[in-house]
Each structure stands twice: as C-alpha cells, then as structure tokens.
Amino acid sequence: MSTEVKEYALPPEVLEETVKASEELWKPIKKVKFRIYKYNPKRDYAPHWEEYELEVSKGMTILDALLEIKGEKDHTLGMRYSCRMGLCGSCAMMINGKQMLACQTRVIEAAGDGDVIELRPLENFPVTRDLATDFSAFFEKHKTVKPWIIRDEEELDNPTGPYKQTIEEYARYYQFTDCIKCGACLSACPTAATDYEYLGPQALAQAYRYLVDSRDDGLDERIAVVDVAHGCWRCHFAGSCSDVCPRGVDPAQGIQLLKGLIIRRKFGFRPHKPTEALPAKIAKKKEQ
Amino acid sequence: MEEAREEFVEYYAKNMGGVLGWFKARVYTIERWLYGAHRITGILIVLFMLPHFYSTGWHPGLWGDFILGIIVTFHIANGIRLILAELGFAVGKPLLVKKPSQRPVSLEGSQRYLVALALLLFIVLAVIWAYYALIVQAAT
Ligand code: HEM
Ligand code: SF4
Ligand code: SF4
Ligand code: FES
C-alpha cells in the first residue's frame, strides 16, 4: 500500500476568485449608525438610547456589529446569542421595529437606503438588561402544552412494534417541528401586547404539532390546556407571528387548524384522521 | 418618590406593547391592520349600542349614520373572513418542504383571496348602506 498523500488544491483561477469574493464581502462600504436601547432595571430609572457608528461590510450581520460594539466601544452592552447561525433562537430582537434574528440579518439589508439601525429588546418580554430579555415565562408556556409524545406507560415500556408513519401523517406536523423557541412570534403578537398570560403562538403551534402526531395519545389532556380563557381563542389571526418567524413555522396556521380541530371535536366529528399505522392502537381496536 | 420609581421601573422592565401594541401594524402584513380595525370597529359598535338600547329612537344623525355604516359593514365583512379562517379554511396545509426563506402559507396563500373578497364585500355593503343613509333617508 502506498503512503503517498494526494494533495488537493484549488485551481489558481478558482482560488483567486474565491479570495476576491471574500474580500468583496468583508470590505467596509458604508458607515451605519446603531441606536441601541440601554436599560438596566436594577439600576436605571428609565431606558435611554446610545448611538454608535460602525463601518460595515456587505457580509456583516447585526450580531457581528453588536459584537464589534461590545468589544471595542461599549463593554457594558447586554445581549444574548449563542450559535450565530439561526439555530439556537437566542438572538431575536427588534431590528428597526420588527422582530428578527440578529445573526440572520445583514446590516446592509436591514438599513436599506438609510444609515440608521434601531435595536430594541423583544417587545412583550421582560427586559433583563439592554437587548437581553427574560424567557422564563415563555418557556413555562411551552411546557404547559406538554410538548412530548404522550403514550400509554405500558406501551412505552413494552413496545409491540415500531411507530410507523406514512408520509401524510408526517406532513401534518413536520412544519411545526422547525421551531427554535426564539420568541419572535410571541413578541410580534398583538394579543400578547395586553395579555401577559396568553399562551402565545409558539406554545399553541407546538400543541397542534403534538395533537396531530399519529404517535400521540394525549388529545384530551392537551386540549384541556389550550381550550381555556388565555388559550387558543385569544388568537384573532393577525398573522404577525407567522410574518416574523425566521424558520417558516407558520404558527398562525397551526393555531387556526387547532381551533378548527377543537370545534369539530365539540360537534362530535372526528378531530383528525385515526391512526391505522400504529401497532398498539391496532391491538386495542381488535380487542374491542 | 421611591414608589413612583418602582412603578416606572416596572413599566419599562415589563416591556409590554400595551393597547398601542394592537395597532403597531406598519411593519407587518395586511392581516395585522385588519386585526386592529376589527377590534376598533367591534368596540365602536358596542359604544353605539349603549344609547341605542337606552332609547331605540336615538339616532347618530345623517353623517353619523353614514360612519356607523362603514364601521358595521367592515366588521361584518371581515368577521365572515375571520370565521372561515379561524375554522381552518383557506389557511393552507402544513408544508413538507420549505424554501430557504419560506414565507407563511397561511398569509400568502389562498387566504389573501379571502382578504380581497372580504374587502370587496365591505365596499359593496358600505356603498349600499351609504346610498340608503345619505340619499334615501335624507329624501324622506
Ligand atoms: C353580522 C354581524 C357580525 C359579525 C359577522 C361579527 C363577527 C365577529 C367575529 C368573527 C369576531 C371575532 C374576531 C376574532 O376572533 O378574530 C368578532 C369580534 C367582535 N365583535 Fe363582532 N360581528 C358582528 C357584529 C357585531 C356587533 C353587532 C357588535 C357589537 C355589539 C360586535 C362587537 C364585537 C367585538 C367587541 C368584538 C371583539 C373584537 C376583538 O376581540 O378584536 N360585533 N365579531
Ligand atoms: S414559532 Fe417561529 S418565531 Fe415562534 S418561537 Fe418558534 S421559531 Fe421563533
Ligand atoms: S395569528 Fe394569533 S397568535 Fe399569531 S400574532 Fe395573530 S393573534 Fe397572535
Ligand atoms: S445566535 Fe443562535 S439564533 Fe442567532
């Protein structure tokens, strides 16, 4: 066996092109002013605005800009981020008045023709400090809808077969599984603006996601949680949640389908198609 | 003084949109405008009904009648759209495949036709009402 290692190198013209494109992406092209909301509830009487000017490039995201400001201009700036790639859901904030992920939004695109960017913490979330908000109530709401597959204990411990799903059964809930719990939807919801206890688009969409999962047995349990005063009937279909969702979850659709499901159930119709593919449920049916 | 400070801090720390939050529609889609308008018209109809119940002979006057017509016809037309959408009609099906920056189907799919139909119905009803309020009523 030969130990020769083959070297892989880009052809020079491709390499040159790549370097050029990268330089193009990171070359400063514009001065942008960042107006940032500064507030520490433990110390300040009221929030104030702070302005910072930065040279920005085409590839720079709002998060890049914030990290530069934090590193070089104002070490006290408070914010939350983690993955920098739109997956962890930590960095949602109000960018020029609309909820977006800081790591997925380019400064140039957010600024448009202007050269001012206004950053605020997510509305409808308590402020911890500056751009960082408190998510404990939000996560609590998510937990109340029981976001897990509910099954018979007996069946879970002694499974009688695999949980098969057809592509149609999978398609009923796949869209909602992409949620990263970024809170943008709850922040955009006008109902949440005056109702702190409203379960919110994220939790309600997740309730629907588990309700229509053919492996799930928790229909009654979960409907008892969402069919309440601060539950799904508080949604009046303003659609802002879906408008701002960075993952295409479309929670507004989930909530309307959820309401339809609950109404059908109330009038004695089948809420959704029965699940033929599951061994345990088939076994139960045969017994009867 | 200390109490006032606490109230202040609580207001800012809670960071709630408040009633004005219902109407922050500028950066969102048309459905958000309709949400605000539906709520306002609903509340205004209730306000109109108070003197109306006290004395059914009470009337908001010629132009008052016209404005009431706009309010009521909008509320009815948009209300029909909401009943349909909230029962799960026209909001589309959940997706199995998403584009890189997928826009919501519930807003930009067939529901938009429903919005157009609702606005059309509103205009038709409003014109009929205005015709009766301003021309037929005024003549008698
Ligand atoms: C044919 C006539 C009407 C229709 C079709 C209609 C339809 C609706 C619907 C579907 C909603 C629920 C909105 C949602 O869930 O998003 C609603 C809300 C409401 N309606 Fe009506 N309505 C009518 C007449 C009235 C009248 C006569 C009043 C006044 C007494 C009224 C006052 C309200 C109020 C205050 C709301 C709450 C608004 C909100 O929560 O945003 N409506 N209407
Ligand atoms: S539904 Fe969308 S906007 Fe809401 S928390 Fe999930 S990913 Fe964020
Ligand atoms: S569709 Fe419902 S949950 Fe979504 S923003 Fe509107 S009122 Fe809120
Ligand atoms: S930092 Fe993780 S989503 Fe933006």
DSSP conformational letter for A178: G
Q: What is the pLDDT of residue A273?
A: 56
- Residues B70-92: b if buried by 16+ CB within 10 A, e if exposed: bbbbbbebbeebbebbbbbebbb
CB pairs under 8 A between A and B: 157
- Residues B115-126: b if buried by 16+ CB within 10 A, e if exposed: beebbebbeebb
Q: What is the pLDDT of residue A276?
A: 46
- Tell me the per-residue pLDDT of A69-124, one tens digit each, with 9 for 90 and over: 999 999 999 999 999 999 999 999 999 999 999 999 999 999 988 899 999 999 99
Using left for φ > 0, alpha for ψ between -120 and 50, and beta otherwise, residue A181 falls in: left
What is the overall mean pLDDT for chain B? 90
- From chain B, pick out residues whose CB is under 8 angstroms from the CB of A245: 104
pLDDT over threshold 70, residue A277: no
Give the whole-number percent of chain A exceeding pLDDT 90.
72
Q: What is the pTM of this model?
A: 0.89
- Six token digits for residue A208: 């629907």
pLDDT over threshold 90, residue A161: no
Q: Which domains does chain A have, with CATH numbers?
A: 12-133 (3.10.20.30), 136-287 (1.10.1060.10)
Q: What is the pLDDT of residue B9?
A: 77
pLDDT over threshold 80, residue A7: no
- Tell me the per-residue pLDDT of A123-135, one tens digit each, with 9 for 90 and over: 999 999 999 999 9
Distance from CA of B113 to the nearest CA of A (A): 15
- Six token digits for residue A50: 């702070």
Give the Å distance between the CA of A88 and the centre of ligand 4: 5
* Residue A89 alpha carbon, nearest atom of ligand 4: 3
Q: Angle formed by the axes of helices A136-144 and A200-211, to 10°?
A: 20
- Six token digits for residue A19: 């370097």
DSSP conformational letter for A269: S
DSSP conformational letter for A75: T
What is the overall mean pLDDT for chain A? 90
Question: Which residue of A121, A190, A239 is in closest CB contact with B29?
Answer: A239
User: Which residues numbered 71-130 in A keep a CB inside 8 Å of some CB on B?
Assistant: 96-98, 121-127
Distance from CA of A163 to the nearest CA of B (A): 19
Q: What is the mean pLDDT of residues B2-21?
A: 83
Question: How many other C-beta atoms are found inside a 10 Å radius of the C-beta of residue A20?
Answer: 10
Give the Å distance between the CA of A237 and the centre of ligand 3: 5
* Domain edges within chain B: 20-139
Give the whole-number percent of chain B exceeding pLDDT 70.
96
Q: Which SS3 state, helix, strand or coil, does residue A50 take?
A: strand
Q: A190 and chain B: CB distance < 8 Å anywhere?
A: yes
Q: What is the mean pLDDT of residues A35-58?
A: 93
- Measure the CA–CA gap between B82 and B66, rounded to whole angstroms: 24
pLDDT over threshold 70, residue A279: no
Specify the amino acid at residue A115.
Answer: D
ipTM of the shown complex: 0.91
Is A23 exposed, middle or buried, given 0-12, 13-18 or 19+ CB atoms closer than 10 A? exposed
Distance from CA of A276 to the nearest CA of B (A): 21
- Measure the CA–CA gap between A96 and A35, rounded to whole angstroms: 10
* Residue A238 alpha carbon, nearest atom of ligand 3: 6
DSSP conformational letter for A73: T
Q: Which residue minimizes the CA distance to atom 4 of ligand 2?
A: A185
